[in-house]
Structure 1
């Protein structure tokens, strides 16, 4: 999975979005907590101000709050809402406190409203808003305290955090889907380049179109430069191979002349050995020329098999060996081979020439196709080759021109074209008595 660019981008984007949403959850939870605290302070200040305004000392110094807050929550014992007014000697409290009392501050009371957390009169955590004021002619210090149970605030904070987490989790899934779509769209130009590369393989003269994406344009230009350089190297290599092959033809012709002279002088055995060596060298040269022509060619294309075979039959019937033979062709008209017409001609031509050279009376060419494979068969009624040599010739890496005397060159050329087109060449004994060559392509 980590080797996939698509999954890397998706996992990286998903992780980044998740971290961002977690940070957002923390900040939003903090903001909501501060909002609750401001709201609590505002509400407590409103009630505390009313209590402070109502607090009074009579001439005897007795503390009282004649008009306490009318909120019924202050009348419910242990109801979570409390107020208390106290001096050093007296305390007036709400009915909700019953016989309990709010804790006094440990430090000196503030002259402004101050909010603090403390343990409540019944063991619960409370928020206490308090302030010290001066009352009466004696300016007696009076501590005004109002408190609210924190359980409701903590519960509200928890519910908000949970609902926010659920919402952000759903948002993460939506953003993850959006990131997947973005990755798919972002990688689409690479898929276009892959299709262009497939076209390039099918047609070596093809070039990649310039990418519309700025970041990919250097890549397509570099690939085009690489293809051009490879094509130039192949052209030079084919030229050198052709020059070498043509350069060897003159010495081979001279050696052939020497072979004739040896034969005329009665050294037939030496002439035969020299002829075999010359034929082997000529086969090697022709095989290398074929490989150089195939270098850089594509596997793409489509050619009608029947048309190509009939054209080859017409040519071979005009030769000295072919005019005495009977040709039979059994190929469906709509059958096509997976290579272009010229390559199919170069593939079947040497095989049919071999069949004509060694046939006694008949050469048969047939083709058939099913869901599994396409097979083109060329066979003759000549001497054929031993089965064990056919098996050896069919093995991968074995040079046909070294295994099958007389027929090796054509078979070697045919094998090169077949393998270049993604097929396989098989040699067996024909029912006609000679050699049967099957060219197979899996569908």
Structure 2
């Protein structure tokens, strides 16, 4: 789920980038802190070394003499961690802290400047040694001046600084991650607005996305609007082609009907019956395709609503003037203020198909009921006819299923009603009516259970 989320991809990418940057910052900052400690150590040792050289002199025999020692108390404590040593060819002079140990004397000590190096010093301590070869008096050989300091306190300071810096950077990472989350949320907010605009576009083919407030979003809005225009054009072309096909087949069908009548008049009734069946099949196919074209239009029509009771009463009035409908008792149990977010012509097409089917198979009664609640609307059409077996009902409600194709004699009206219900984001179920026949339940954002009415 995270891999398919743009929000999480951006957020995790930002958190990983921030973490990598802070880890690099930790490494270089601790390295700079270590270099700073080393420079300060060298500066302090150089200062003490210059004081030591200033107090240095040589005896007549070349032994080094010191007028005053540096005042650091570590130099007076054995193994105190700070040491000095002056080495002449004839003798050596050293701090009390060296006790009975000595600093290692290299063979290549520079004479022009002080040199700093790391080594293992007395008492097996890691030390930094500052050393230089000096000519104290012209008539004597050069002497070597060395100062050494234990570097373990520097390592401890570096480790403590690294730990404290790591805690600070961890808190900073959390703060920056929250800032990244806020940035991603604000950056993706225009996409949430587009999602709402797309929902309105899905409900109505005539709706288009408004002009985006951001330049980066405008190309997406333009592309979606262009796609919606192309979809609407294709839908209109398909509807026109279906209508043209229906009108174009009327003349051939009329000619076939005339041929059937002539064949029947001449005594060729089997041939006439075959022609009539072919004409009926072609007519049913044409009616179905025209109905599907109207269904496609209904699925892309939005923004309209209809009062249910006037539509039902108008349909009942028409059906009462038909031969079969004149003998049916209609009951309309629909609240007068019940409204449905479906265009009136679509609702009339939907209920008309169900009522025609109910009148066709009813014995004496047809009932239309309606109810609504918070966020849902339900309509039910039932009759006292023979009904439909449960397996036939399931086949009728399957995608593409029609009972007339199975020889049941009904199903085209139910198929049209089901597809219209789907196109208007509703649902349709078939069941046993309380009158004993077929019960058709329609629901929008609810359960099409007429027993709850």
The answer to whether the superposition gives a TM-score over 0.5 is: yes
Q: 1:383-420, CA deviations, whole angstroms, 9 ceiling, x for partnerless residues?
A: 65666655543444322442466544433322221232
Matched, 1:330 2:333: yes
Matches of 2:71 and 2:115, distance apart in 1: 23
| 2:369 equivalent among 360, 366, 381 | 366
Are residues 386 and 215 of structure 1, via their aligned partners in 2, closer, same or farther at CA, if it must alter by over 3 Å? closer
**Residue 290 of structure 1 corresponds to which residue in structure 2?**
291
Matches of 1:71 and 1:427, distance apart in 2: 102
Q: Assess if the C-alpha contact under 8 Å between 1:45 and 1:129 holds in 2.
A: yes
Alignment of 1:13-412 (within 5 A): 13-59=14-60, 61-136=62-137, 138-260=139-261, 271-296=272-297, 297-298=299-300, 302-319=305-322, 321-333=324-336, 335-337=338-340, 339-368=342-371, 375-382=378-385, 389-390=392-393, 392-403=395-406, 407-412=410-415
Superposed CA RMSD? 2.9
Q: Assess if the C-alpha contact under 8 Å between 1:10 and 1:180 holds in 2.
A: yes
Residue segments in structure 2 that go unaligned for 5+ positions in a row:
447-453
Are residues 429 and 92 of structure 1, via their aligned partners in 2, closer, same or farther at CA, if it must alter by over 3 Å? closer
Q: Assess if the C-alpha contact under 8 Å between 1:299 and 1:422 holds in 2.
A: no
**Residue 418 of structure 1 corresponds to which residue in structure 2?**
421
Matched, 1:438 2:448: no
**Residue 2 of structure 1 corresponds to which residue in structure 2?**
3
How far residue 382 of structure 1 moved from its aligned partner, in angstroms, is 4.5
Q: 1:304-359, CA deviations, whole angstroms, 9 ceiling, x for partnerless residues?
A: 43343233234434555545432211224454445333211110012223333454
| Greater mean deviation of Cα atoms: 256-265 or 134-143 | 256-265
Are residues 340 and 138 of structure 1, via their aligned partners in 2, closer, same or farther at CA, if it must alter by over 3 Å? same
Are residues 176 and 38 of structure 1, via their aligned partners in 2, closer, same or farther at CA, if it must alter by over 3 Å? same
Are residues 268 and 436 of structure 1, via their aligned partners in 2, closer, same or farther at CA, if it must alter by over 3 Å? farther
How far residue 365 of structure 1 moved from its aligned partner, in angstroms, is 0.7
Structure-2-length-normalised TM-score: 0.87
How far residue 377 of structure 1 moved from its aligned partner, in angstroms, is 2.0
| Greater mean deviation of Cα atoms: 91-100 or 299-308 | 299-308
Structure-1-length-normalised TM-score: 0.89
Residue segments in structure 1 that go unaligned for 5+ positions in a row:
none
How far residue 26 of structure 1 moved from its aligned partner, in angstroms, is 2.1
| Aligned residue pairs, count | 443
Matches of 1:348 and 1:162, distance apart in 2: 76
